[in-house]
Structure 1
């Protein structure tokens, strides 16, 4: 669908790139991309550009990487009230910037708002063992994820999803919803409905402290969900025989095999560590780690 209305896209994370590429493929008029400055990533701390910047360069779209958002005001002013689209940008947008756009800035959020307002809705969904999640298309407001909602789509969960899987699923679904809804939003044919603030729940920015698993403090089920939820960042770490390892995959059992690497939790169940990252950085299965690093289970 060819939409002539100028659109400025805000996004930084890989989750953003799916929606940006879909809008470009559908011939929307993307006149600019606003993303965070390039940053150091990985063990080598190499300077890395956001994926949306790569897409912008490949499609000859101007890319802005402001340290302060007010730096984009002259660029936005050139287009006389463009439409804004924001997907996982990573900064709070002040009302003074939102007001530069018509009808405002449209946001893709991977939760069934007003549930999980905040920066980690996908991880929170898995951590809490939810059976349903979804994606919301909303009109951005200065309060975090509190704006009125245009439409939502539910996703039924099996209880085995990882954060990588859900980011991928929600990214694809969100991009399809956005591409279909945006023409109607721009034409004023789709009206958003206010959220019920009384039902709102919030999630926090994840930190490295969240990665620690203490078998004495949580159940095996909580630990297994944590491993799936924090798979991307900050990952799940456990200390066994004075060595800290990163757990990539685990399962719950009441009767562990002596050959497997298993840990007892406070609910008296065991977590079988099926795949992990050893202290030397190598990915290996639990049995190999037990044979190589541990002479005797404690």
Structure 2
């Protein structure tokens, strides 16, 4: 059995490493091309590409569907496993491996089909999520389910933290599913249940609206941390104050949209309750404690 892994970001690297450590016969890796990163636009490989290079695994970085087809022809996989690869796969490419393409998706499909299932689960205030291994078809995350496993969402977890947990659960499930394939135990089943979508979040999705309940505000903080980043818009000009660590205080009351010190904490009032600001990032500066920021600003501080 020849397996090729297709993925790009750090979460995919976590899964790839687990598969390699478990002895899965990974004969090649496909990832996005190197891209400029940071203010200096340094050309940088994806985390998956870097791992493949370090481990001397054959690496392909196709720029187009034509190049992807050629890469598959060179690697000759029986199965391709995709985790956050970041490219749509054409039907002709899906048909090349004997066992097709699998995908590890970070929701219990058909819930939250799309690019940001973790963020949308937190936005909705869900208490349970999970992972799905499914056979990729021509639709958007619509293929046959090969395996699923639920996961309880911990209180106050951020999207970044939850994604790490899901990657660990998903890697174990993926390895188990691969063993089921080898043993002839796979039983693909159609997706069933309510369908919901999880489109990519816009860059301003992290703006915290303190006219809402503190629970709604905190859910948006959870969902947009670390990406695209939660923030408050200060004053009439809407100067951005990044929020990197926060906690809901439903029993504390303050004026909605006003940041103040209360009971030894820096808080912003919401429609009901308050949000405790722990770490913030003023525009053009580094992350600091809310206490340090508070000492250097003119009061009162209002946010839109």
For normalisation by structure 2, the TM-score amounts to 0.89
| Structure 1 ranges of 4+ moved more than 4 A | 78-81
CA deviation string 1:38-85 (max 9, x = no partner): 112233332221111111112221211111122132332345552110
2:196 aligned residue (195, 201, 206): 201
Q: What is the distance in 2 between the residues matched to 1:207 and 1:92? A: 20
Q: What is the distance in 2 between the residues matched to 1:240 and 1:262? A: 14
Residue 257 (structure 2) aligns with: none
- The change in CA–CA distance for 1:283 and 1:102 in structure 2 (over 3 A counts) is same
Q: Do structure 1's residue 276 and structure 2's residue 280 form an aligned pair?
A: yes
- The Cα of 1:202 is off from its aligned counterpart by 0.4
Q: What is the distance in 1 between the residues matched to 2:113 and 2:218? A: 24
Q: Do structure 1's residue 119 and structure 2's residue 115 form an aligned pair?
A: yes
Residue 172 (structure 1) aligns with: 168
1:109-148 to structure 2, matched below 5 A, reads: 109-148=105-144
Residue 227 (structure 1) aligns with: 221
- The Cα of 1:240 is off from its aligned counterpart by 2.3
Residue 35 (structure 1) aligns with: 31
2:98 aligned residue (90, 93, 102): 102
Instruction: Verify the 8 A CA contact 1:149 1:195 in the aligned structure 2.
Output: yes
Which is worse superposed, 103-112 or 38-47?
38-47
Residue 298 (structure 2) aligns with: 294
Residue 264 (structure 1) aligns with: 269
Q: What is the distance in 2 between the residues matched to 1:99 and 1:52? A: 24
CA deviation string 1:214-264 (max 9, x = no partner): 323x32211111112111211011122343200012222324616533222
CA-based RMSD of the aligned residues comes to: 1.9
For normalisation by structure 1, the TM-score amounts to 0.91
Question: May I ask how many residue pairs the two structures share in their alignment?
Answer: 291
Residue 210 (structure 1) aligns with: 205
- Secondary structure of the structure 2 residue equivalent to 1:151: strand
Q: Do structure 1's residue 56 and structure 2's residue 52 form an aligned pair?
A: yes
Q: What is the distance in 2 between the residues matched to 1:140 and 1:291? A: 53
Unaligned 5+ residue runs, structure 2?
255-261
Unaligned 5+ residue runs, structure 1?
none
